[in-house]
Amino acid sequence: MAIELAEKYLPYVDEIFTTESKKHLVTNQDFSFEGAHSVKVYKISTGKMNNYGRNYFTDPQNKRWSHYGEIETLNATTERFALSRDRSFTFEIDALDEDETVGNLEASSALARQVREVVIPEVDTHVYGKMCAGAGIKPDAIELTETNIYDEIIKAGKELDNAEVPETGRVLVITPDTYYLMKKCKDIVMETDIGENMRLKGVIANLDGANVQRIPANRLPEGFGFMLVHPCATVAPTKLANYKIHDNPPGISGSLVEGRIVYDAFVLENKAKAIYYQATTPAAE
């Protein structure tokens, strides 16, 4: 005799593991795009230093001179930044589908899931990708190992020092694989006494004055080794983030969910050397 066993659906959704956005630690919001699709910022040149001349004279080529040297005219050029990412999504949830899944297929939770699992990873991937592409210091890709990882990080700090990048506020962005190498390196001693507010931003330690931020590899370019950055170099505006739930709109019995986000990331030309990006090659077999 066959017996059909009972099945029971629990009010529980097996959610995918996700992490919150960490880009705010390595970028800034210095530009306002309010009322505009693009903005321009100035780049101003400087004058050269001269030997002061106590005797005034006129240059044979009719250049303008004073006791302070040849009189220069400063250049004022601009950089233009236009938002390129205007992204959206939409889906519906039928009223009976919500009712007959014990409320698990519900609009507000579905919207939160969409933002958490789709929108945030896409924005982070774009921002970190633009930073890597626009880095002012990009040495050749190498194989990172537990024996050379500390030397390469120290080299990155030296390059930022020589470029006169501010020492405070630097962030070392790493993948879990790079963190594994760092933990195995006997030369690396990381300060792990980090406040809860910094841990929420992805900071797991401090190394040589830089906050160490661990980012999932799937949000970073392929071959990412590490990146030492200062947030002054990258502007990452989100001009619009609009999410809506329509209850029983025309033509739909249930909920219509819509979302739109307008964002981008820009590396400033004069601050590009505040980003040091080290790509890695696959380990030898």
- 203-207 vs 234-235, strand pairing mode: unpaired
266 CB-contact burial (10 Å; exposed 0-12 / middle 13-18 / buried 19+): buried
Looking at the domain assignment, is residue 167 inside a domain?
yes
For tokens 């579905």, the residue is 110
Looking at the domain assignment, is residue 12 inside a domain?
no
State the Cα–Cα distance between residues 57 and 79, nearest whole angstrom: 39
Same domain flag for 72 and 96 = no
Looking at the domain assignment, is residue 263 inside a domain?
yes
Instruction: Please tell me the predicted confidence (pLDDT) of residue 12.
Output: 47
Same domain flag for 190 and 264 = yes
Instruction: Please tell me the predicted confidence (pLDDT) of residue 78.
Output: 80
Same domain flag for 175 and 60 = no
For the entire predicted model, the pTM comes to: 0.83
Same domain flag for 123 and 202 = yes
Q: Tokens for 222, please give them.
A: 């392929």
Same domain flag for 166 and 130 = yes
Domain boundary pick from 62, 79, 96: 79
Grouped pLDDT means (10 residues each) for the chain, 285 residues: 52 54 85 79 81 67 74 83 91 85 82 90 94 96 94 96 94 94 88 74 85 93 96 92 91 91 92 96 63
Looking at the domain assignment, is residue 100 inside a domain?
yes
Same domain flag for 166 and 259 = yes
Looking at the domain assignment, is residue 9 inside a domain?
no
Bridge partners (DSSP) listed for residue 242: 260
Domain boundary pick from 14, 46, 79: 79
Same domain flag for 94 and 72 = no
Q: Which domain holds residue 150?
A: 23-28+83-279
Instruction: Please tell me the predicted confidence (pLDDT) of residue 222.
Output: 94
For tokens 């705010």, the residue is 24
Looking at the domain assignment, is residue 7 inside a domain?
no
Evaluated on CA atoms 211, 214, 217, 218, the torsion sign reads negative
Contacts of 103-109 with CB under 8 Å at 24 or more apart are 103/11, 104/11, 104/12, 104/13, 107/245, 107/255, 107/257, 108/245, 109/13
Same domain flag for 147 and 272 = yes
Q: Tokens for 231, please give them.
A: 């947030």
State the Cα–Cα distance between residues 69 and 52, nearest whole angstrom: 7
Looking at the domain assignment, is residue 230 inside a domain?
yes
Looking at the domain assignment, is residue 15 inside a domain?
no
Q: How many domains does the chain have?
A: 2
Same domain flag for 180 and 260 = yes
Same domain flag for 165 and 252 = yes
Per-residue HEC secondary structure of 3-44 comes to CCCCCCCCCCCCCCCCCCCCHHHCCECCCCCCCCCEEEEEEE
Same domain flag for 89 and 51 = no
Same domain flag for 103 and 67 = no
Helix 149-162 vs helix 176-184: angle between axes, to the nearest 10 degrees? 110
